[in-house]
């Protein structure tokens, strides 16, 4: 691939499979929660899909948190490619809200003013700017790798900030914030041309493999 496109990086940004905390509607942040049985099946479906399509990567770069690392390992088992753990792709630190049900968090905050983009999240977590800077640094490290095809396995919030950094969208107040949706095992495909320093987004929240999984479940009814 690098011979055909000597100046081009191909990056796939993947959110981990569904975790047990996802199923319980608990805010995880940097707490660990293993994949649920559904999350394992989602990850296997994606690994099988990529394998059947002949899609591979030079390397998997994964958040070290369990739910991402487990997703990366399942895909690696299908594609036989190495995994590199990178702390910069960990999920946002959400401070005192980590481990709490979303319902409880929303109830506590319903009468509170919007949090400043400079203010730590939930008392002791990362501010919007903290996470944006970390995501931008992670993206910069990707662009310094040799041209090739790379898979990043990470989390919804940090992937949002990574895309914002790529698109030049700095942190904004909650009322004006742009959000990119990543379902569990949903992924975005991007290209970066080092010669022209230009980005292209090929797809967002790609979940074709999940429709195949649903079709398989339907056939077993």
What are the residue ranges spanned by the domains of the chain? 8-24+34-91+127-219
> Alpha helices, DSSP H only, in the chain?
20-23, 37-52, 66-79, 102-109, 128-143, 156-167, 208-219
Q: What's the CA gap between 165 and 169, in Å, rounded?
A: 6
Sequence-distant (6+) residues with CB within 8 A of 143 are 9, 192, 194
Residue 88 CB: number of other CB atoms within 10 A?
18
Average pLDDT, the chain: 92
pLDDT in tens, 70-85: 999 999 999 999 999 9
Asked whether the beta carbons of 153 and 13 are under 8 A apart, the reply is no
Q: Cβ–Cβ contacts within 10 Å for residue 217, how many?
A: 10
* CA pair distance 150, 11, nearest whole angstrom: 5
End-to-end CA distance of the chain, in Å? Answer: 42
Residue 220 has pLDDT above 50, yes or no: no
pLDDT at residue 218 tops 70:
no
For residues 184 and 108, give the distance between their C-alpha atoms in angstroms, rounded to a whole number.
27
- Name the pLDDT band for 217 (thresholds 50, 70, 90): low
Dump pLDDT digits (tens) for 40-69.
999 999 999 999 999 999 999 999 999 999
Residue 94 confidence class, pLDDT cut points 50, 70, 90: very high
The pLDDT score that the predictor gives to residue 216 is 61
Give CA angle at 68 (62, 74), nearest 5°. 90
Structure tokens at 4: 């055909």
Query: Which residues are 206's β-sheet partners?
Result: 187
CATH superfamily placement of domain 8-24+34-91+127-219: Phosphoglycerate mutase-like (3.40.50.1240)
More confident residue, 47 or 211: 47
Q: Report whether pLDDT(173) > 60.
A: yes
């Amino acid at each position: 691939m690098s011979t055909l496109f000597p100046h081009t990086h191909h990056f796939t940004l993947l959110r981990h499979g569904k975790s047990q905390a996802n199923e319980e509607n608990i805010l995880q942040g940097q707490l660990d929660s293993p994949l649920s049985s559904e999350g394992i099946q989602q990850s296997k479906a994606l690994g099988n899909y990529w394998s059947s399509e002949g899609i591979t990567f030079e390397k998997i770069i994964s958040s070290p948190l369990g739910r991402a690392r487990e997703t990366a390992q399942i895909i690696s088992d299908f594609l036989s490619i190495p995994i590199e753990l990178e702390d910069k792709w960990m999920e946002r630190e959400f401070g005192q809200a980590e481990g709490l049900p979303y319902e409880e968090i929303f109830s506590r905050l319903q009468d509170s003013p919007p949090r400043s983009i400079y203010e730590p999240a939930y008392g002791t977590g990362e501010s919007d700017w903290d996470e944006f800077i970390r995501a931008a640094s992670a993206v910069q490290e990707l662009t310094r790798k040799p041209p090739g095809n790379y898979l990043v396995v990470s989390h919804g919030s940090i992937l949002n900030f990574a895309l914002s950094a790529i698109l030049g969208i700095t942190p904004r107040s909650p009322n004006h914030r742009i959000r990119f949706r990543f379902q569990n095992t949903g992924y975005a495909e991007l290209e970066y041309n080092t010669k022209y320093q230009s980005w292209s987004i090929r797809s967002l929240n790609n979940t074709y493999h999940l429709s195949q999984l649903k079709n398989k479940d339907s056939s077993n009814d």
